[in-house]
């Protein structure tokens, strides 16, 4: 079968397995460890920026908790507190998801997870394509660019309900014990990485040396 998208080293070391959901078993976890897929994971680019390994590990765990790998969220399992600071919020910037300019508001990450797991993912399949990654040069966070494709699970023949390119910007900070955690998440509209890089530098305040690299991981299909 198809090889799941390669995952960060932290995930592979922790589990010695790769996780994906096949078309036959969308609602079940399928565990296997083909050597070919593990080899693909080792081909992902590495980064020499501060906190890069710890940040990738956090994004891997966030992806697990938000159903990126299996397209389902089990609200009875998983500890978001092990990944995010207590006051971590997700902010969608206009016009993403119908947000109006000037009306952007951060929503607690825990609430976002409950909403996705309870009312969206049971009915909609979300696929992510063209994933690319930019690591903050000073180790303050990470940005993923990808295109979100949504289809109804009950009738995928209708094609995509929605196709949305966006930036997924994650900021990190140490908790009271000095452990790195996700402090906030922002989703910005961007048609491609060129527009995304300009936005990161001019609006978000990232350094001019910011650059994107293809990085097919965290459950992305391409």
For the ranges 107-116, 158-167, 194-203, the lowest mean pLDDT is seen at 158-167
Q: How does pLDDT run across 75-131, given as a tens digit for each residue?
A: 888 899 999 999 999 999 988 888 888 889 999 999 999 888 877 677 888 889 999
Q: Give residue for tokens 């693909």.
A: 40
Cβ atoms within 10 A of the Cβ of 90, count?
Answer: 20
Confidence of residue 12 (pLDDT cuts 50, 70, 90): very low
The number of C-alpha atoms within 13 Å of 148 and in the hemisphere containing its C-beta is 20
pLDDT at 62 > cutoff 90 = yes
Confidence of residue 42 (pLDDT cuts 50, 70, 90): low
Tell me the C-alpha distance between 222 and 212, whole Å: 15
Specify the residue for token string 């460890």.
33
Whether residue 187 contacts residue 128, with contact meaning beta carbons closer than 8 Å, is answered with no
* Contacts of range 77-86, beta carbons closer than 8 Å, 24 or more positions apart: 80/109, 80/110, 80/113, 83/58, 83/181, 83/182, 84/109, 84/181, 84/182, 84/183, 85/173, 85/175, 85/181, 85/182, 85/183
Name the 3-class secondary structure at 197.
helix
Eight-class DSSP state of 16:
S
Tell me the three state secondary structure of residue 178.
Answer: coil
Cα distance between residue 38 and residue 182, in whole Å: 27
Residue 120 DSSP class: I
Q: What is the pTM of this model?
A: 0.80
Where would I find the beta strands (DSSP E) of 15-136?
A: 18-20, 30-32, 84-92, 107-108, 124-135
């Amino acid at each position: 079968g198809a090889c799941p998208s390669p995952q960060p080293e932290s995930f592979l070391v922790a589990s010695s397995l790769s996780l994906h959901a096949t078309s036959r078993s969308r609602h079940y976890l399928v565990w296997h460890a083909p050597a070919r897929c593990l080899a693909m994971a080792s081909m992902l680019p590495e980064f020499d920026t501060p906190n890069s390994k710890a940040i990738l590990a956090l994004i891997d765990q966030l992806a697990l908790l938000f159903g990126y790998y299996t397209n389902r969220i089990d609200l009875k399992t998983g500890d978001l507190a092990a990944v995010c600071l207590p006051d971590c919020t997700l902010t969608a910037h206009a016009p993403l998801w119908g947000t109006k300019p000037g009306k952007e508001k951060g929503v607690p990450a825990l609430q976002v997870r409950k909403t996705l797991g309870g009312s969206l993912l049971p009915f909609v399949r979300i696929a992510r394509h063209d994933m690319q990654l930019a690591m903050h040069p000073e180790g303050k966070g990470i940005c993923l660019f990808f295109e979100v494709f949504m289809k109804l699970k009950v009738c995928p023949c209708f094609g995509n309900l929605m196709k949305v390119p966006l930036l997924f910007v994650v900021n990190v900070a140490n908790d009271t014990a000095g452990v790195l955690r996700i402090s906030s998440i922002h989703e910005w509209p961007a048609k491609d990485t060129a527009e995304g890089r300009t936005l990161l530098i001019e609006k978000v305040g990232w350094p001019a040396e910011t650059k994107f690299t293809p990085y097919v991981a965290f459950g992305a299909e391409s």
